[in-house]
Structure 1
Amino acid sequence: MSQANNDFLDVSRWTGKIYSNGWVTAQGGTQTVTAPANGAHLADVGRATPDDLRTAAAAASLVQPVWEATPGAERAKILNKAAEILQANADELAPWIVRESGATAPKAANEIAHSAGFIRAAAAAALENHNTTLKSVDGRNAQEEMIRVPHGVVGVISAFNFPLFLSIRAIAGALATGNAVVHKPDPRTAISGGVIIARIFEEAGLPMGLLHIISGGGDVGAAICEDPNIAMVSFTGSSAVGAKVGEACGRNLKKVQLELGGKNAMIVLDDADMDVAASNCAWGAWIHQGQVCIAAGLILVPAAKAETLAAALTAKAHRLPVGDPATEQCALGPLIVEAECKRIEAIVEDAVAKGATLHVGGKAKGTMFPATVLSGVKPGMRAFDEEIFGPVAVIASFDDDDHAVALAKMSDFGLAGSVIGGDVARARAVGNRLRVGHLHINDQPVISSPLAPFGGRGKSGNGTRISGPAIWEEFTQYVWITTKPAATAYPF
């Protein structure tokens, strides 16, 4: 078991630098990382340019063939070592996640543990054999097989809300299957989504040049989609940006894996225990300030039970303090930037102006946004139609099961859905009618597993998946090989 290093994230090692064949000075100078809770300076990291990206991608393409030829057991050993190092240094690393992303301490600890689990799952996948023998049908006396081979260099672009986890699940999967990686974390969380990852793989002994972590702006993300040395792009972020990434990758004939936003319906049936349902709805709507792509974005409840559920959620909201998780005991931390609070306030105001009831919350103080409950929300209100990405429980009522499904399917998103009810068969039948990538019966939707494929439909993604069996599906491709004992003549 790896031992903790008391100064594992020594800032003198990486201040003002990017990780590309070691810690080097970025051509774009430096960028400041601040705490969303109070704007405090946390660190300065290197700011990469498109030229830095091109240099990194070229370097990665040179060393990737050696990594591809490395036995899966050796790749797995390094990945498992990285997971051990991550967990061994959790006490030092978790406070960085708290300060940089506004996470509460339990959320940060869970993110580290979850990330380690995904690295280990990728390590196990590295040991799998996905080569298949085929039957020859044309009488050519040839041995036929199909094998899976890595794409080469994978570009990873990740989001700020779970910066470590959303980065590591793609990076680990790509490395496990023999690819090299060039990764651009969100610049607002360049430490949790970048520096930490570089350090664990550096200490784990990953060969130099296989992993490049370059924090930068949208121009670097665009360069990832354009660079000829990058064969695949894995993107996690908003649907609007994801559409641009997909367009650029399509134009350049790159494979692209898009994990985007969601307006996830949580249907509470009339035979559900309302107290238990309220607990699930509260967690699904407010965990990490609602900044979760699989959050419960639309809570659908029978009209006769809507008032009861709204009252239960309102009572819970009053008991959830908001504050700086680095210095206070709180249930909700800050949103990533104050502009997000203003956007969410406008969504709440739109709903109230159109007839919805605001029970609690709805107004921010700086980057702090309290747990909020809106009921009587209907189609045509922004709160019903849009992904909020903030701590707002949106309650809409339905008449019967068909009406509930119809309301849920009004969204163009299709990431997650959940149904809570006493009759499990009925709840499953309702859930089966939803167009989603993940379905949870008698649970809320904020769930992920290293052994399960994760992704969505519609505006939530392009039908691709990440994690579990999807590691090999996404990060490798088939090659068909035929072998004859000896060459034979043809009629020409």
Structure 2
Amino acid sequence: MASSERNSQTSTARVDPTRGVEPALALRNEQQPFLASLLIGGEACPAEKDAVFERRSPVSGELATIAAAASADDVQRAARAAAAAFPGWSRTSPSERRRLLEAAARRLMERKADFTAAMLRETGATEAWCSFNVELGSEIFIDAAGMTTMVAGSMVPSNRPGVQSFAMRQPAGVCLAIAPWNAPIILGVRSIAMALACGNTVIFKASELCPATHRLIGEVLTEAGFPAGVVNVISNAPADASLVVEALIAHPVVRRVNFTGSTRVGRIVAQVAARHLKRCLLELGGKAAFLVLDDADIGEAVKAAAFGAYFNQGQICMSTERIIVMDEVAEEFVGRLAEKVATLKSGDPARGIFPIGAMITAESARRVRSLVEDAIGKGATLLAGGEAHDAFMDATLIDNVTRSMRIYREESFGPVSAIIRVSSVEEAITVANDCEYGLSGAVFGRDIGRALEVASRIESGICHINSATVADEPQVPFGGVKASGYGRFGGAAALDEFTELRWVTLSTMPGSYPL
């Protein structure tokens, strides 16, 4: 059976999921799968009726992980555990929360080999991407630790004599965090770190495509000393995703929802959250525009475009998908980029010699290939790559892309980028904004004033001048506009997402009332 047909399935096999994730097992014998339990109330435990599902390697098709398949009853258990832990955790001092988050950052780095082993087998990523995930994940914990003393209020002037008026931030309650597979450590840690820093408890729903990697995050937090029930980890079989997610969002104790993933699923999450009047933070799809102006440093633009388009096989929400280049520099830029892209071959990441690893499934590679075929059939020129074999696809570059082609507007989430040639700056801006997405973008030009003006007109939550579309730092306000979602992760902007802002008054004089 092909690997794409064997990615995951529900099973009633009698394993011992209470053993948790055991990366050391894989290091001793790579043929043994990881075992991923649930984490509820500080305890590693099986799902109801010991239900499990399988995750298979996108590279080999071999069994990578046997994970607990949570039911609606397991959701209830996790919610009760998180709610029970909230009163105590919300009153924990900022210094104690900071200490534990810093301990989590250290422990994450100490278990870098374990995370890499799990992530390599579950996602087919390169070792460089795994290493980057661990390091940035640790930085996110450190940044959140520094924010524990920033959950502050303010004095608000009052019109009433003898009244002191305050705007006060308090923990929101139980937060539901849903993270994807493509940057599992970065996005998993980001989904919970600031929530914990603000004094909330968390239910973390692991991705069905990397349950062991996500379960390891829960294990790290347990090892760091977080109290029982503060962090709970739920995994579910793919067929049960809708049931589990709706049960989690609908539960009365859940007060905040954050979701990182596709726009298609994000719309569903938003609809369910709206029905239950739950506030949610959504970081969704993207189709980043990379503008090369007529005065751009071509060498720098080529380096940044190649990195932004093909790092992690293009499976990053900020990936460079549309390269909009002005006619004056198009020939030089496209020629040099095509030479670079032709060297970016995909292969088994375990061999350590390929700059591009596997896509998450063979079906994903076939879908990207169909976008390429559609473009070529409508007049585009294939400059490099284009072929897919199983879950592998070499870096692919297409020139002369037009609006009639699917790849002009559909998010590929794969190792392909489209060249769109334009005759003016105004046309470049128009093309950049001719897209439903608005997450990241980039503008290359030596005239900084003009580049800044162009960047200000790009409809995206993030825009970089003279650097790649793919960039992330823990302290920045990270998020998009339009179909790329709403709300912001990171730094001070995230405080509003994970706290309740309350108005509190203190009267020191007798009141005067009309009745």
Question: TM-score if structure 1 supplies the norm length?
Answer: 0.95
Distance 2:421 2:344 in 1: 25
- How many angstroms does 1:90 deviate by? 1.3
- How many angstroms does 1:14 deviate by? 8.0
* 1:215-254 alignment, distance < 5 Å: 215-216=235-236, 217=238, 218=241, 219-254=243-278
Which residue number in structure 2 is paired with residue 331 of structure 1?
355
The one-letter code of the counterpart of 1:54 is Q
Distance 2:72 2:34 in 1: 20
* 1:326-365 alignment, distance < 5 Å: 326-365=350-389
Structure 2 residue corresponding to 1:172, chosen from 170, 183, 193:
193
* 8 Å contact from structure 1 (residues 335, 369) kept in 2: yes
1:403 aligns with 2:423: no
* 8 Å contact from structure 1 (residues 26, 47) kept in 2: yes
Which residue number in structure 2 is paired with residue 44 of structure 1?
66
* 1:182-261 alignment, distance < 5 Å: 182-192=203-213, 194-216=214-236, 217=238, 218=241, 219-261=243-285
- How many angstroms does 1:224 deviate by? 1.9
14 and 365 in structure 1: CA distance in 2 versus 1, 3 angstrom threshold? closer
235 and 129 in structure 1: CA distance in 2 versus 1, 3 angstrom threshold? closer
Which residue number in structure 2 is paired with residue 376 of structure 1?
400
- How many angstroms does 1:37 deviate by? 1.1
Q: Look up the SS of the partner of 1:448 in the other structure.
A: coil
Distance 2:71 2:22 in 1: 27
* 1:396-435 alignment, distance < 5 Å: 396-435=420-459
405 and 489 in structure 1: CA distance in 2 versus 1, 3 angstrom threshold? closer
The one-letter code of the counterpart of 2:343 is R
Which residue number in structure 2 is paired with residue 316 of structure 1?
340
Distance 2:33 2:504 in 1: 47
Which residue number in structure 2 is paired with residue 115 of structure 1?
137
Distance 2:493 2:352 in 1: 40
1:294 aligns with 2:312: no
- How many angstroms does 1:199 deviate by? 1.1
49 and 377 in structure 1: CA distance in 2 versus 1, 3 angstrom threshold? same
1:468 aligns with 2:488: no
- How many angstroms does 1:227 deviate by? 1.6
Q: Look up the SS of the partner of 1:301 in the other structure.
A: strand
User: Deviations for 1:114-135, whole angstroms, at most 9, x for unmatched residues?
Assistant: 0000001001001224111111
Q: Look up the SS of the partner of 1:335 in the other structure.
A: coil
Which residue number in structure 1 is paired with residue 8 of structure 2?
none
- How many angstroms does 1:275 deviate by? 2.3
Distance 1:223 1:300 in 2: 43
1:58 aligns with 2:80: yes
Structure 1 residues not aligned, in runs of 5+: 1-6
The one-letter code of the counterpart of 1:202 is T
Which residue number in structure 1 is paired with residue 112 of structure 2?
90
User: Deviations for 1:134-176, whole angstroms, at most 9, x for unmatched residues?
Assistant: 111133x112111101110000111110011101112111011
* 8 Å contact from structure 2 (residues 441, 463) kept in 1: yes
* 8 Å contact from structure 1 (residues 306, 395) kept in 2: no
The one-letter code of the counterpart of 1:213 is V
* 1:8-19 alignment, distance < 5 Å: 9-10=23-24, 15=35, 17-19=37-39
Q: Look up the SS of the partner of 1:300 in the other structure.
A: strand
Which residue number in structure 2 is paired with residue 3 of structure 1?
none
Distance 1:318 1:134 in 2: 60
Distance 1:16 1:104 in 2: 22
Distance 2:397 2:61 in 1: 28
Distance 2:425 2:248 in 1: 45
The one-letter code of the counterpart of 1:465 is R
Structure 1 residue corresponding to 2:390, chosen from 366, 371, 374:
366
* 8 Å contact from structure 1 (residues 16, 26) kept in 2: no
Distance 1:181 1:72 in 2: 17
Superposition RMSD on alpha carbons, in Å? 1.7
Q: Look up the SS of the partner of 2:53 in the other structure.
A: strand
Which residue number in structure 1 is paired with residue 47 of structure 2?
26
Distance 2:33 2:322 in 1: 45
